[in-house]
Chain A
């Protein structure tokens, strides 16, 4: 399977702490994306990192990509209770001409006030 696989499956932290989630994949990629999903709702795009990029920032989010290890990490700094959600990585495989995202199983993040 070329799908991304997140680690850990669940993460529980206190407000103010940092949260790190990891994603591994098996195929070459065009880009890797992170999405967030609140319970029973649709997914919201957070950040996209291309295969030739190593790090990107967006507000309290930092994403790294290591194509040699086929892995990515999402860091949320100074977490808030409102960050409680499921986080998914999704890959666009190399050579894909249409917008086909392949998702991992996700990390459930719980931030306690």
Chain B
């Protein structure tokens, strides 16, 4: 148990569906992340929230919409996805400073395995 919980663990959706992935961290961290892990590709950073503000959006298509209502919760809203969006979606959290160089150790959830039909 890493202190980061993701739900659901598995999700199958059609291209016209709308669904949401949820991440909750119990570590008191102030930064949260969404990553996409596809087969045979490096882990791709999608979004970063630091102190509830989005600080990074790595050119992610608008069919992925993140939401960070507080420092403990992170959502990824999905709509009109494509089959190539099928992947393992990982959430992580860390304790970061507002400025300067933080330690950046990230704690990951177990992921949501998404299949888009």
Contacts and interface: CB of A to CB of B under 8 A. Distances in A.
A33 B101 contact: no
Contacts of B74: none
Interface in B27-59: 31, 33, 40-43, 45, 48, 50, 55-56
Contacts, number: 75
25 contacts: A30-B104, A31-B104, A33-B104, A35-B108, A41-B111, A42-B2, A42-B4, A42-B90, A42-B92, A44-B108, A45-B105, A48-B105, A88-B43, A90-B43, A97-B101, A98-B56, A98-B96, A98-B102, A99-B48, A99-B106, A100-B48, A101-B104, A101-B106, A105-B40, A105-B41
Interface of A: 3, 30-31, 33, 35, 40-45, 48, 88, 90, 92, 96-106
Interface of B: 2, 4, 6, 31, 33, 40-43, 45, 48, 50, 55-56, 88, 90, 92, 94, 96-97, 99-111, 113
